[in-house]
A and B are shown apart, each in its own frame.
Chain A
Amino acid sequence: MPINYIYPDYEVVRDSSRCITCRACERQCANEVHSYDLELKCMVSDSMNCVDCQRCVSLCPTRALKIEKTTNTFKENANWTQSLITDVYRQAESGGMLSTSMGNPNPLPVYWDRMLINASQVTNPSIDPLREPMEIKTFLGRKPEKIRRDENGRIITEMSPQLELNVPIMFSAMSFGSISYNAHESLARAATKLGTLYNTGEGGLHQDFYKYGKNTIVQVASGRFGVHKGYLDAGAAIEIKMGQGAKPGIGGHLPGAKITAEVARTRMIPEGTDAISPAPHHDIYSIEDLRQLVLSLKEATGYKKPVFVKIAAVHNVAAIASGIARSGADVVVIDGFRGGTGSAPTRLRDFVGIPIELALASVDQRLRDEGIRNNVSLVIGGSVRSSADVVKAIALGADAVYIGTGALIALGCHLCRSCHTGKCNWGIATQRPELVKRLNPNVGYQRLVNLVTAWSHEIKEMMGGMGINSIEALRGNRLMLRGVGLTETELRVLGIKYAGEIWS
């Protein structure tokens, strides 16, 4: 086209005094940014296709490469920002919706960063987790309201099905199809090693991974891909996905190009066809309908497995969660607006849904106020970025958290937000065999194990600092949090005091 409206956002900068022309950058770039110029005998780069995934930078043996944000600048305008103008150019050209992936990158408030954690000083002793026991084992499932006895006065010990987690961290739903076989294997093996759970996402369970079933949550979503009796029986729990934080209110669309033979078999759909998940479950239009599905799944699996219901954090989340808690579900999962995705319309990802911190606080409060908090466990996801976020989430009332983006980052993801192109240079969000093999699960699973192990050490240290030696004593303990830079309304919704305010 004679007029090129779009200038690359990021530019490849090569220090030719350091480049040894090994051509690793060229061989590793699925976007074909780098090439070797035979006449000039040097590497050249075309930044137009660069997505800033940092693969070339990470592999360059002499650190001759870096990617810089372009300094090419449209006339400054605080209202019409360069990215908005560029988006208009894109849509004027394509006539289509803007597509993107991974979580919301916009500078909206991150409430995690505006909450600070308490520690003991003088009047109550802190605990050293290296010397004293520190319990972070977590059980998910409906908890008994009260002690029940049989006619002989003996305590009835029968409980609803419970999941035992060694750490209050699970890997969130990411389907086989949206991520690669090797990424799934890494997650499954890491969950097994760590004594926690990973989640199949809506794409079914690959036959090779049935052996990790004890550490698997099998998901049932609106597309019902790969759902059959064997699948439901394979997992330790079943999750009904009603919504996803990255794109509340809409379904999913996995393009035919990603439906390889393996993905097709696992999803039980023809190879190369688009896998379209409807926006709603067409059999669920009310809490009563949801209850039917919850009970159907329980009936199908002999009432042995907890059933999760996952919803996106939206404006009315507390009331919806209250309904779910009465639907027979064992675990409510809330996914915040910063949650990741393999593909979403940009405007939906960026402007639909609410922050998970506020959603969590209001859901926990609502369930307590209604006396039904013990009906369900509460799991949250949607940008839990560190062990401190985990501690804050639990103090706000969560039983456990899901990490998705964090786990992918551990596997090499650099959040280039190009999953939807299917050309993930890190072998994560792709089905192209030559790219998938770049993620060696022997390496990947160990990196996930390391990450969660490191976080659990940090969680124990923070708990010890607060003088708490059991995660149960931290759960919903909002006095352990203080806000900074928050309004009265934000403090009220979060149910926390402002920094400097004392206990009473």
Chain B
Amino acid sequence: MKRVYVNEQWCLGCHLCEYYCAFANSGVNDMVKALKDKDIYPNIQIEEDKDVSFAVSCRHCRDPLCVKSCISGSLSISDGVIKVDQDKCVGCYTCILACPYGAILPSPRGVVQKCELCVDNIGGTPNCVKGCPNAAIVFEER
């Protein structure tokens, strides 16, 4: 299965992936309308310190600890993609504790949010991959 991978060597720390992610998940078809004067809550986040930076998003593990830890059954695996049903999530954040990558995040609604590889919004290549200016984020089989 194709997953999102990050080549730290080529990450510029421009943070554009975060904005492309927020845009893809906004449900709005114009980036300005979607993001202007709004706080964004992307599912991919840049970690950086001095000259090192890299993007972190869900690894879509084959044996995911988050799904095992979910007490409400809101996290599930669908065709290899780990999805969250925000209507079922009770906001206990056990998955956030369990995820070794810090890839699950609390959303402004209180429930958790996570990368779903853009399968239910734009489809195809995830928007962070499309938007990365240096091919540091790739979508490929490994």
* A contact residues vs B (CB 8 Å cutoff): 17-20, 22-24, 27-28, 58-59, 61-62, 64, 433-434, 437-438, 440, 442-443
B20-42 interface code vs A (CB 8 A; 1 in, 0 out): 10010000000110011000000
Q: Do the beta carbons of B135 and A438 come within 8 Å of each other?
A: no
Shortest CB-to-CB span from B34 to chain A, Å, is: 8
27 A-B contact pairs sorted by A residue (CB < 8 Å) = A17-B32, A17-B36, A18-B32, A18-B36, A20-B32, A20-B36, A22-B15, A22-B19, A22-B35, A24-B16, A24-B19, A27-B12, A28-B14, A58-B133, A59-B14, A59-B16, A61-B23, A61-B131, A62-B32, A62-B35, A64-B32, A433-B51, A434-B12, A437-B10, A437-B12, A438-B12, A443-B135
Q: Do the beta carbons of B12 and A61 come within 8 Å of each other?
A: no
Chain A residues within an 8 Å CB radius of B71: none
Q: Choose one: B9, B18, B23, B31; the contact of A437 (CB below 8 Å).
A: B9
- B48 closest partner in A (C-beta): A27
Task: Answer whether residue B136 sits at the interface, using C-beta atoms and an 8 A cutoff.
Answer: yes
Q: Do the beta carbons of A22 and B135 come within 8 Å of each other?
A: no
Task: Answer whether residue B107 sits at the interface, using C-beta atoms and an 8 A cutoff.
Answer: no
Bound Cα distance A434, B50 (Å):
10
Shortest CB-to-CB span from B49 to chain A, Å, is: 13
A440/B15 contact (C-beta < 8 A), A59-B133, A62-B32, A433-B51 known: no
Q: Do the beta carbons of A23 and B15 come within 8 Å of each other?
A: yes
Task: Answer whether residue B134 sits at the interface, using C-beta atoms and an 8 A cutoff.
Answer: yes
Task: Answer whether residue B13 sits at the interface, using C-beta atoms and an 8 A cutoff.
Answer: yes
Chain A residues within an 8 Å CB radius of B15: 22-24, 27
Q: Choose one: B10, B13, B20; the contact of A27 (CB below 8 Å).
A: B13
Q: Do the beta carbons of A24 and B14 come within 8 Å of each other?
A: yes
Chain B residues bordering chain A, tally (CB within 8 A): 21
Chain A residues within an 8 Å CB radius of B9: 437
Q: Do the beta carbons of B51 and A20 come within 8 Å of each other?
A: no
Bound Cα distance A480, B51 (Å):
55
A61/B16 contact (C-beta < 8 A), A18-B32, A440-B10, A442-B135 known: yes
A443/B134 contact (C-beta < 8 A), A24-B15, A24-B16, A27-B13 known: yes
Bound Cα distance A22, B19 (Å):
7
- The 6 A-B pairs at the shortest CB distance, nearest first, are namely A20-B35, A22-B19, A440-B10, A24-B14, A440-B134, A62-B32
Bound Cα distance A143, B75 (Å):
73
Bound Cα distance A20, B35 (Å):
6
Bound Cα distance A18, B136 (Å):
26
Q: Choose one: A19, A27, A64; the contact of B14 (CB below 8 Å).
A: A27
Bound Cα distance A59, B10 (Å):
15
Chain B residues within an 8 Å CB radius of A443: 134-135
Chain B residues within an 8 Å CB radius of A17: 32, 36
Bound Cα distance A227, B21 (Å):
50
Q: Do the beta carbons of A61 and B36 come within 8 Å of each other?
A: no
Shortest CB-to-CB span from A429 to chain B, Å, is: 17
Bound Cα distance A22, B17 (Å):
10
Bound Cα distance A198, B21 (Å):
39
